Structure formats: structure tokens, C-alpha cells
Chains A and B, each alone.
Chain A
Amino acid sequence: MAPSFDHLPDPEDDEFDEDELDFSDLRERFEVQLEQGLDTFVVIDGLPEVTEETKPKLIKFLLRKLNAVGRTREDSIFMPIGDDGKSHKFAFVEYSTPAEALAACKSLDGVPLDKKHTLRVNKLTDIDRFGREGRIDEHYTPPKIEEFQEKEHLRSWLADPSGRGRDQFVMYTDDRVRVFWNNEKDPPEPIVDRQHWTESFVQWSPQGTYLTSMHQQGVQLWGGPSWTRQKRFAHPFVNLVDFSPGEKYLTTWSNRPISIPEEGHPALSVDDDGKNYVIWDIETGKPLRSFANIDLPSNANDEAGQPIKRKIVWPAFKWSADDKYVARLTQGTSISVYELPRMNLLDKTTIKIEGVMDFEWAPATPHREGVKTYEQLFCYWTPEIGSNPAKVGLMSIPSKEVVRTLNLFSVTDAKLHWQSEASYLCVKVDRHSKSKKSLATSLEIFRIREKGVPVEVVDSIKDTVINFAWEPKGDRFVIITTAEVVAPTAVPPKTSVSFYCPEKVKGPGVGNFKHIRTYDKKNSNAIYWSPRGRFVIVATVHSQQSFDMEFFDMDFEGEKPESDKDLTANLQLMNTAEHYGVTDIDWDPTGRFVATSASIWKHTMENGYHLYDFKGEQLREEPVEKFKQWLWRPRPPTLLTKEEQKQIRKNLREYSKIFEQEDADRGASADLAVVEHRRRLLEEWMSWRASIEEEVKEERAARGLPLDPLEGIIKKTTEGEDQIIEEIVEEIVEETEEIVP
């Protein structure tokens, strides 16, 4: 039967009296709470003390601030004056609507009035609710102090129990997160193995103290010998996380704006509603401040006419080397520098830099010659605007003084590369010709430590530089260039790899940067310096066709070619290796080993890892299904002084003798164990064979069968069937052709 409406009652016929229904329960739930009269009032605390005479001046000053968020008048401000003719340092203010009052609380609370006074703005109803008599206990009850509990040593891993100074790494495969000791050639020694430890990826903190796991509810930090949870940062739907270099603070980011539920949130407050970034104090686990995404109107549109979403820049909040400042770029207009731990804007204003495209903090506290005061530096660049040239600037914080600028022309793009100790800054400038048809790159190298920050230009490069990397703690660099920059195609562009180092000079100081050598016709696209310098891997990653890795030594101990005698490097290709489908290359923090891996995040072919030593000798190779991530555990900076380090380096021979002996002993005992194991296996096998052969023999005898089951039948069938097979072999010794005339 087709559905019909016949059986439905006609709404017209339906008679019922609305008054008869009892709506009281619904009314209670949904009745609009009428604004009460006091909702438009706010209370301002933290005002300076004034007298009747100076009061109007203050009110006038206040009004300017108050009117920024809503409407109020002079006579709506009530500032009680005490018997002694002095004000009580607070005032009542009436706004025209409750919404304005609320806005005032949100935006004016905590705003500094001058150096000594900071406004505290609260709703009158809140003061009434929280501060009314009886709500606060008149008697002081001391807070209960929790018994001190010894925490686990977070750096215990540095003392390798085997005494070999091994490094740890984390491996994330399928849904398992495992941490291992690296055992070089032997299978790594497992330390901890947990299923579903993280939901998207794992990350070490910059000094290796914590292992970060990502969850829908937020971020968790793990550490200590028993891998217990150390901290939790409840940022719902968090996508990315970034630590400050000193592990004091943490930035979390989610592409979903935070929405605080009605019943509240354990860590975040209503003020964080709608924000995307949260900056946390790791020690206390408390949020310091939250920020929303900066949505820049994109000037490009995609095919459907929709503005193309810009890729998020990560990290958006960049940390200074000493954890004291964090800064964010608003592209094209300004850089906002915040001071920690209060997270207030430095000098209460952003730094306006017209057109600013990018900035980068010095990765270490800089030491400029002749500058005694404490400073942090960052560099930034601005493109050509109108007839003004493009600029690269160096700004000193907290003075905000621009200590060096450099004008540049015909700039398409610039990239900022700091050397790890902030001794040099290389600005890679892509320049276009006048016709804008061809590109060329020049390298502008700022020598930060020298007087007046001189700039050296390397402009002998004809091609486009696609990659640049400084030697960590050194003064040499590697670049990869390509003649044509084409859109991504199946065939990767041919690239060249060039090495540079400073010239030898007499006395202290660093000579000019000179080209050492170029290797042509490569596919390489990535540079991986050893964290200790000297060794560098040039590799092709994320490629479908080539997977080669070349291990170079910059201080080869062999003979130096004549042409390089003035250079501070002796370049030598030590080894080449190939790892099919390699996606990631990671040096261990000591620069002894390199892990190369093929992650399922990029492709599904031959996922797994290889392990090499710094010379490029392969130590291990292990295919791992659903391999995702390999990360070496970073190490904190050494506690030894420069002198102590020098001492060790001097006596290295003696130390290495001991270590080599240990290695040899361990190797020998391991070999012995293997041999012993094999011997046992062989003996077991032999004895089993002997017993089973005996058993079968007996059984055959018992059944009256010949020892060889075939003896009988073969005799039967082959009797008299012997044949003589003749084979005629013809061999041509010589062939001659004679022409008879």
C-alpha cells in the first residue's frame, strides 16, 4: 500500500486548550534570563591614588581607554573618595550595555596604565558573586602542601647502563612506539614498547628530556627511566607542537579553533575560546597565553575562484636562543615579540616593518665585537616596495635597534640561513634578470662576530640554488644548484653539488669564502651535515628514480690536492650508498651514526630503515612493515668546559685504546657465543640424525625390507637393459675456400 496521509489527524480538527498544558518544566529550562540591572557595571581596580583635585584628570584619562570598548560618560564613572580626601584606588563604571561591560572586562583587564599601575577590570556582579561577605573565609587557612615526592631523574638515559655511551632512538611502526638503544651492527636493544602510545606521531623535546605523544585531547610528555607521564597539555584536537630550545615552553597548534564547553575545560579558560595556538609553561603545565591564527587574505585564487589557502608556517612562534622571547610574524606588516614568562608584548607594541616577508632568530646568543650588553638578534627581509630596494635587516632585542641593513635589487625571493653558533648569517637571494626570465642566486654572508658586521657576497653561482646548509659549529657550507627550476615532473632535474670553505689566512680571523669543488650531473636534493660538523651527506630523497647518498669528509686526512692548499678543507668523497625509497635521513646526536628510513607516510614500498656509520659503511638493514618514524633522542649540551673538552681531545688516543679493547672483547665474546650456539645446533642435529637413521634401519630390518628401498625394484627393471650409446662427434678443424681461376 502506498503511504497516504489519510490516517493522520487533521490539525484543524484537533481541539486542545493550550492553557491546559503544563509548560512549567520547559519554561524553567528555556526561559530567557533577563539582564539584571547591575550587568552594565564594571569595577576597575589598580588605579593610582588621587585626591578630589586630581580626580577629573584621571577620569578623563580613563575615559579614553574605557571608550575604546564601549560607551560611557564622565558622570557614569564613580570614584569614591575616602575620609582622608584620597581615593580608594578603584572606580565603578557604567556602560550602556552589558555586552560592552563584558568587552571591557575582556580587553581592559591586565592592561598597564603606566609603569606602576595595571588595570584590573571585573564585572560588578562577579565581584558581588565571588567577593561577597561570607564567600571568602575570614580566617586564613594555610594551603596544604603536598609531601615532597622524589621525581624520576629525567636525564638518566645519558648514563648508558652498558657504559658505552650509546644513543637511544624511538621507532614508530604501525601502532607501536618503541624506544631502543642503538647497538650498531647488532639488533637494537628494546627499552620500552607500547601500543597506541600516540595517535599521530612522536617527537623528542630539543634536549631529549621528554618524548611527546599526540592525542585528540592534547599533548603528553613522557620521560624518566620508567617512561611515566611527566606532563599533560590539554589542547583539544592538537595538530602540531613546538618546544622552546631550552625546553621551558611549548607551543601547541590546532587547525580547529578551541571551543570551551559549557562546563569548562580543565586547563583552558573562556578567554582561550576561538584560539588556535597555546603557549604553555612546561614546568607548571599551565597555559601562558593563547593566540588565534592570522588569516592573511591570499592574493592568489585557485581554478574555482576560491582563494588558495596558505600553507601554515610552522613554527609560527619562533623562539630566541635563550627562551626569553618568542616572536610571530604578521607577513607584510610587523613582527610581534613577546617576553617570557609573562607573555606580554615587548614594549607593548609590535615592531612595524613594512613588507616584512620572513624573519629568523639567531640560533645562539650572538657575540658581536664591541657589544657588551646582552642581546638577542633576529634577521628579516623585506621585498622591493615601489622604488625602495629590498632589504635585509638585523635587529637587536630588547633594544629594537637595527644593527645592520643591506639593500638588494631585483630580488624574487630570499632565504635566511643562520650558522648554528650565530657566527654567520647567509642570505640566499634569488635574483631575476631585467626581463624577469632567468633566475640567479647570490649568497650574502654576514659575519656577525666581526666589527660592523661586514657582508661578503658569493655571486659566482650562475644557477639557482635550491638548497643551502652551513656546517654546524663550522664555517663551511654546501649548496645544491640546478640550471632550470621546472614544475614537478616525473624526471627530477639535474643538479650540481658545490662545496665552499674559507681561505687560509695568517693570524686569527676567517678568510674569504672560496669554492672548493662542484659535482655535476646529480639528482641530489638534500644536505645532511653531521651535528658535529666535518662529515656531510648529500642525498636524493623523496624521489621515484634515484636514492643515492654520498658521504663526504671535509677534513680528509689523506693527501691534499695542490689546488686546495690555500683552503681550510680537504674534501673527499668517502662512500656512496643507496637506500631504495629513502624518505628521511637522521644523524644521531653524536655524529657517529646515520639512520636512513623509508616511511609509510610517503609511500608503501620497502618501508624500513638502514643504519650507517659516519663513513657510510652500512651497519644494519631492516625492513619493517608499516614503518613510520625514526628519531634519535637528542642530547643536552655538554657540561664540560672548553678546556676539559680540549683535554679529552688531546688524550683521545689513550681513551680510544680502552674503548677499542672493550669493543674487541665484546665482539670476541659475541663471536664466541655465536660459535658456541652453532656448535650446539650442529651437535643436536647430528645426534638426532643418528638416532632417526638407526630407528629407520631397525624398522626396515623388522619388516624384512632392503636397506635401500629401491634395490629390489631396480634390479628387476634394469636387468639386461644395459645399452651402449654411440655418439658421433664431427669436428671441423679448418675451412678454406679456394677460388679456381
Chain B
Amino acid sequence: MRPTLLQGHERALTQIKYNRDGDIIFSTAKDQHICAWFSHNGERLGTYHGHQGAIWTVDVDPTSTMIASGAADNTVRLWDIKTGKCLKVWDFNTAVKRVEFNEDGSKLLAVTEMRMGFLGTIVVLDINLDVEAEQSNEKVMTITCEESKAIVAGWSYLSKYIIAGHEDGTVSQYDAKTGEQLDNVKVHDLDITDLQWAPDRTYFITASKDKTAKLINTRDLEVMKTYVADTPLNSASITPKKDFVILGGGQAAMDVTTTSTRQGKFEARFYHKIFEEEIGRVRGHFGPLNTVAVDPTGKGYASGGEDGYVRVHQFDKGYFDFTYEVERQARQQQQQQQM
């Protein structure tokens, strides 16, 4: 795999997102701008300026028209991808840790931090995908997390549920229309650090500080698979086309100086999604991996580290050829049946 090193950020990466076509990568870091890059050569397309604090999160709508971002300056901003113009600013009481568009780009959710006496919330906003149109100021719905603050959240298939991962290791399922909590299941021992979707949003993967990642069924929050790592995890992603998952993590940044670089375990780990077995690792970062993202077309992935770099990898032939004997047999059977 040939990695492309994207050197544009001055501080630790916080999130990376591919657009739907997989040709543009958006990245946010604790410095105050968002970068957009061409995924195939690592050329920088542009930056988005305006935030006044560490940017925690970014998401791109399904049509690659707009991006939304959330930051420590207590705002969510909407940007025009093409022009870099800030289309809208929503103000909140506390920092925004996660934003996500729903599957048709008509809604945006934002997860706010619990701080200064405010409880953590999940807020839903209406989005008009026309860049010329006026965006609504109204917060359509607010879910308040009274027990444990939400760290990450996302929209399920059909925008039916909102799923949130909490600080106490639980995962909640909310009705996306009413905001009513439908279910809450304890799946991890420690904080959930990431939640990413399968392409059709019927299941998702959570990463946790408890050194595991879990594959969870959206409908009934059943844990289907568990991937055990030997280091706290910051991010996990599901690969399309191939049945793998990618986990990223490493010794927490504050502990790194007290341990040898060897021990940091700053590697992206590949596991087989169904068999839960580790397949391989990719080295390169010299700080913990804060975020991993997979190209929705399945051609590559990108990882962002505490070291301030984004490494973009294109999968090579070996990756696509790798199959378990059992998988090969199953495929042959399928082909025979079709014939």
C-alpha cells in the first residue's frame, strides 16, 4: 500500500471524512481550519476558515455540496464545498463534538459537550441542500442526555433512529422523530470514542477506550462481533467491498511521554469483520491514531494521528485478493446456484 502523507494541519487530527464518491477527503484538527484534499494524489483542494477553536468534527452531505463542522467555539457551521463560503452558523452553549448528516442530507445532528452546568445534548437541525437558500435557525429537536453525556451519535437507515455512544460505555437508541429513548445497552466498559456506519446503516461499529471495538445491530442494539485490541481505541471503521474493519488507537496522548515509542502501538489494525480475527497492521504514525475513515468506494482508507498527519492509503491487489478458504467456497457455491 502506498501511503500519501497529507501535511496541512499543525495540530492533532480530530476527524476525517470521505465524500460519497471517495474522491475528496475532509479533515479537521485542533488547529482552526478544515482541509479538503483530493484522495488520489493528496493535493489540497482548499481550506475552510472561520472557526475560533479546535474543530472536533466534520461531515459531508451525500451530494458533496456542503460540509458541516462542529468546534470548541460552541458553533456548528455549514460551508459551501466549492466556494469555501460559510453558509450558516448555529450557536450552542458548549462545544460541539460530533455532527452527522442523515442519509438523504435533509437533516443534521450535533452532539454538544456537557460543561459549565449544561448537560450534554443531541440537537437536530433541518438542512436545505441548495447553497443559495436560507438555512433555518430552528433546532428541530433536542435530546438531553441526563445519565451520561453522549460522545458520538449518528442516523440509522431511513433516518428512523438516532444512535448515540456515551461516556459510560452504553449505546442508546432514540426515535429520530420524537427523541424518545427506545433502548440503552451497556456494551463497553469505558468511554465510547467512535461510532461509524456500515454503508446501509443497518449496523455500526463502536470503538472504546476499553481496548475493544464492537459491531452492533442498529435495530435491536445486539452486539454481533467483538474485536479485541491491546491498546485503547480511538476510532473504528467498516470497509465496504471487503468484510474487514479497521481500528485505530494507541496509548493516550498524555501517557505517551512516559512510555517507549515501541509501546505506543500506533498502528491501524485490520480485523476480519465476520471472523473477528486480526489480519494485519499498518504502521506509520508516531502518535496515537485519532481517526480512521474508509473510502466509501472501498479503494482506500485514511488515518489521522495525534502527530498532525493524515496518511492516505490506496489498497493494493493483495488486499482485494485476501480471502479465507471458507469465503471462497461460499462464493463458489453462490455462483453455482446462480448458474
Contacts and interface: CB of A to CB of B under 8 A. Distances in A.
Nearest to B262: A580
Given A606-B263, A717-B129, A678 B105 contact: no
B262 A682 contact: no
Interface residues of B, number: 30
B326 A710 contact: no
Nearest to A703: B158
Contacts of A713: 62-63, 104-105, 129
Interface string B88-106: 0000000000000001110
B11 interface: no
Given A713-B63, A717-B63, A675 B326 contact: yes
B259 A682 contact: no
A682 B20 CA distance: 28
B63 A605 contact: no
A678 B63 contact: no
Contact of B326 (A623, A682, A700, A709): A682
A705 B330 contact: no
| Residue of A580, A605, A679, A709 most packed against chain B (CB within 10 A) | A709
Interface in A675-716: 675, 678-679, 681-683, 685-686, 688, 692-693, 696, 699-700, 703, 705, 709-710, 712-714
Contact of A696 (B104, B105, B200, B260): B200
A710 B63 contact: yes
B10 interface: no
A197 to B, nearest CB: 26
Interface string A591-606: 0000000000000011
Interface in B214-235: 217, 219, 224, 230
| Range of interface residues on A (Cβ < 8 Å) | 20 to 34
B103 A709 contact: yes
B65 interface: yes
Contact of A712 (B104, B202, B324): B104
Interface in B191-208: 200, 202-203
Contacts of A712: 104
Interface in B240-282: 259-260, 262-263, 274-275
B132 interface: no
Contacts, number: 65
A670 to B, nearest CB: 15
Contacts of B200: 693, 696
B263 A678 contact: no
Contacts of B326: 675, 678-679, 682
Contacts of A696: 157-158, 200, 202
Contact of A710 (B20, B158, B275): B20
A603 to B, nearest CB: 10
B24 to A, nearest CB: 15
Interface string A659-677: 0000000000000000100
Q: Looking at chain B's contact residues, is the secondary structure mostly helix, strand, loop, or mixed?
A: loop
Contact of A623 (B104, B158, B230, B329): B230
Interface in B40-77: 62-63, 65
A705 B158 contact: yes
B138 interface: no
A705 B160 CA distance: 13
Contacts of A714: 62-63
Given A714-B63, A717-B129, A686 B330 contact: yes
B325 interface: yes
Given A713-B63, A713-B129, A605 B260 contact: yes
B146 interface: no
Contact of A682 (B158, B203, B219, B274): B274
Contacts of B62: 709-710, 713-714
Given A682-B326, A709-B103, A699 B275 contact: no
Contacts of B263: 605-606
Contacts of B260: 605
B255 to A, nearest CB: 11
B321 interface: no
Given A700-B158, A710-B104, A678 B65 contact: no
A604 to B, nearest CB: 8
Contacts of A682: 274-275, 326-327, 330
Contacts of A606: 262-263
Nearest to A717: B63
A681 B274 contact: yes
Contacts of B330: 679, 682-683, 686
A681 B224 CA distance: 10
Contacts of A705: 158
Contacts of B219: 692
Contacts of A693: 200, 202
B195 to A, nearest CB: 18
Contacts of A685: 274
A685 B326 CA distance: 13
Contacts of A605: 259-260, 262-263
A681 B104 contact: no
B65 A717 contact: yes
A655 B105 CA distance: 71
A29 B103 CA distance: 89
A693 B262 CA distance: 43
Contacts of B230: 623
A675 B325 contact: yes
A682 B277 CA distance: 13
Contacts of B259: 605
Nearest to B105: A713
A678 B262 CA distance: 33
B83 to A, nearest CB: 15
Contacts of B65: 717
Nearest to B334: A686
B223 to A, nearest CB: 13
Contacts of B103: 709-710
A712 B217 CA distance: 27
A703 B20 CA distance: 24
Nearest to A705: B158
Interface string B116-156: 00000000000001000000000000000000000000000
A455 B224 CA distance: 72
Contacts of A623: 230
Interface string A137-155: 0000000000000000000
Contacts of B327: 682
Contacts of B202: 692-693, 696
B80 to A, nearest CB: 13
A678 B263 CA distance: 32
A710 B217 CA distance: 23
Given A696-B158, A710-B63, A717-B63, 13 more contacts: A605-B259, A623-B230, A679-B329, A682-B326, A692-B219, A693-B200, A696-B202, A703-B158, A709-B62, A710-B62, A713-B105, A713-B129, A717-B129
Name the 7 nearest CB pairs between A and B, nearest first.
A709-B103, A678-B326, A709-B104, A685-B274, A692-B202, A679-B326, A710-B62
27 contacts: A580-B262, A605-B262, A606-B262, A623-B230, A678-B274, A678-B324, A681-B274, A681-B275, A682-B274, A682-B327, A683-B330, A685-B274, A688-B224, A693-B200, A693-B202, A696-B157, A696-B202, A700-B158, A709-B103, A710-B20, A710-B63, A712-B104, A713-B63, A713-B104, A714-B62, A717-B63, A717-B129
